[in-house]
Amino acid sequence: MSVAPEKPPREGKGAGRRIRRKSSLTSHGEPMVWLTGASLALCLVMISGLLGLVVYQGGRTFWPQEIVQVETLTGDVLMGQVSRVDTFTPSADALDALPDEARVRVEADMRANEGSVARRMLRTENFDLTGTHFDWIEESVIAAETKPEWAVVVERTAKGRFYGVPQAFLVDGEAHTVGSAATWGKFEEHHARILARVEQIHDLERDDLGHINSRIERQRLALREVELARGMESPEWIAKERETRALVEDAEREFVTITDEIGRLRTINDSFALRFETAGGGTAIVSLANIVRGTPVNRIGTAGKWSVYFDRWWEFLTADPREANSEGGVWPALFGTVMMTLLMTIVVVPIGVLAALYLHEYAKQGFLVGVVRVAVNNLAGVPSIVFGVFGLGFFCYIVGATIDDLFFGARLPNPTFGKGGILWASLTLALLTLPVVIVATEEALSAVPNSMREGSYACGATKWQTIWRIVLPRAQPGIMTGAILSIARGAGEVAPLMLVGAVKLAPDLPVDLGTFPYLFPERSFMHLGFHIYDVGFQSQNSEAAKPMVYTTTLLLIAIVVLLNFVAIAIRARLRRRFLGART
């Protein structure tokens, strides 16, 4: 802080002038620079802390950690991956329960570390054998620690992960190959083919059987429609009934063919299995068809680990969830989130822009318009769950139920539109983000200079021509800003969705290019935001689900950022187009 040197009072005219000294703190200005700068720094720290945590935790989820095998002083042998390290203070009871040697070491540890003991959490899994997923081990009770060369992490389609050392490759229950290296070679040789068969079974179940089912369902609905229109014993109904029975018989024959094929594929797959040696010295047999991915982590080296890492990311982005959502991918949720957000944007932007146009361009500015404007602004502050309740009560139960009554009477009492679905969710969120678009558009319209409008009117343009040709193009970047804000708000919203259609598991996407009519706006959907909540708090294996929470959060952030970037890019293009070279 520099204080200006005191100037001597000027001679003559200026003699009586009051000399201004920088006496007060506020007159210096620097403190305010510090205060404002510090506030900004605080904001940056918080934001980067949030992003840093999510990126770090979410980014390392899929990194294949090495497997350690530890032997404790109590004689337990555990094999698994270290998932956490911390310190704790053991209770007296727990200390007493330890064998003498272990207790002495723990107590020594406690004395050295002010009463606390270091421990690590080992992800041991093999839930079907041990009944646990994780085990805590005090560092001081570890007698020996090794990294078995052939320890393998097996990601299974059910029952969680499996840790073990491969012993033998079984064909039809007979040991075909023995020895870790040879067994693993056989596994890698056969696994791809078996996965292809699993995929084939999946396709048969989902597509072929699904199509037969939907065909039967459609026929039943047609029959029911005839029944509702003509009565049960009418000749039309009897004809339809006969047709239905023929079709169902036909379908059942097809059904049996497909089921046989599935059974055949299953039998082939089931003949291959691996025998593992587990940490405790026991053996366990895992069918190859149940193995999604097997990784001999301690052997593969850095390049191999990166390959597994990206492979897992790919699975995460493209596969359906497994294991109550805590494993596998989030593709349906990803798709649901993006589709719902786009649907919402398509609905909210035109409506919001038109409403703002009326408010700003057509309506006579007065008390009533002021009231409407305040009401719209306040709408932005209403808790989102309120919109969820409204969406459920209005869209699902009134509009949806009416649509069901009018067009889907045959399916009743099963609701078609009269329940939560992606369409209603999009409309609910559109309503939620409407104020954002209206406010942003009004601001953009205010920013269009009146001289532009006057110039257009003076050329003999009508109001609408002026709006369409002059005002809207000029306001377009501002309107895009509104759209961006609404996307950001809508994509991250969860609470209302839980009421109007987001569900825990919905592998059937709202778009199905294989089934007429291809678009199913009435279907429930998965949403990343809801998925985070579900995985984090509704999962049985919450410790294993925790990394997935971070990863899904990272993905959600990435999606929102990506959608925003797309919108920003469009806005920049529009700016260049409409505002010329100078801007």
53 CB-near residues (< 8 Å, 6+ apart): 550
Query: Measuring CA to CA, which residue among 535, 432, 445 is closest to residue 488?
Result: 432
Nearer to another protein, 339 or 472 (CB): 472
The H or E element that residue 535 is part of is: helix 528-537
**End-to-end CA separation in angstroms for the chain:** 39
Strand 291-295 and strand 161-171: pairing?
unpaired
Q: What does the alpha-carbon distance between residue 245 and residue 226 come to, in Å, rounded to a whole number?
A: 15
**CB of 251 or CB of 574, closer to another protein:** 574
Using CA atoms, how far apart are residues 429 and 341, in angstroms rounded to an integer? 8
The smaller minimum CB distance to another protein, of residues 192 and 458, is found at 458
To another protein, the closest distance from the beta carbon of 345 in angstroms equals 25
The CA-atom distances, in angstroms, between 540 and each of 34, 102, 135, 445, 546 are 49, 32, 16, 52, 11
Count how many residues are written for the chain. 583
CB of 459 to another protein, least distance (A): 4
Query: At its nearest, how many Å lie between another protein and the CB of residue 331?
Result: 43
What count of other Cβ atoms lies within 10 Å of the Cβ of residue 413?
Answer: 6
* Residues binding another protein (CB under 8 A): 364-365, 449, 451-462, 465, 469-470, 473-474, 578-583
Question: CA distances (Å), 240 to each of 193, 217, 225, 233, in order?
Answer: 45, 14, 10, 11
- Please identify, using beta-carbon distances, which residue of 365 and 414 lies nearer to another protein: 365
Q: How far is the CB of 337 from another protein (least distance, A)?
A: 36
Kindly tell me which of 473 and 492 has the beta carbon lying closer to another protein. Answer: 473
CA distances from 355 to 207, 372, 373, 434 (A): 44, 11, 11, 9
How many CA within 13 A on the CB side of residue 16? 1
Q: Using CA atoms, how far apart are residues 560 and 307, in angstroms rounded to an integer?
A: 27
Residue 573 CB, nearest distance to another protein (Å)? 14
Toward another protein, which CB reaches closer, 562 or 579?
A: 579
376 vs 448, which CB is nearer to another protein?
Answer: 448
The least distance separating another protein from the CB of residue 436, rounded to whole angstroms, comes to 25
CB of 538 to another protein, least distance (A): 52
**To the nearest whole angstrom, how small is the minimum distance from the Cβ of residue 354 to another protein?**
21
The smaller minimum CB distance to another protein, of residues 30 and 454, is found at 454
Picking from 370, 351, 348, 350, the residue whose alpha carbon sits closest to that of residue 360 is 370
Q: CB nearer to another protein: give 264 or 576.
A: 576
**Minimum distance, C-beta of residue 478 to another protein, in the bound complex (Å):** 13
291, β-bridge pairs: 156
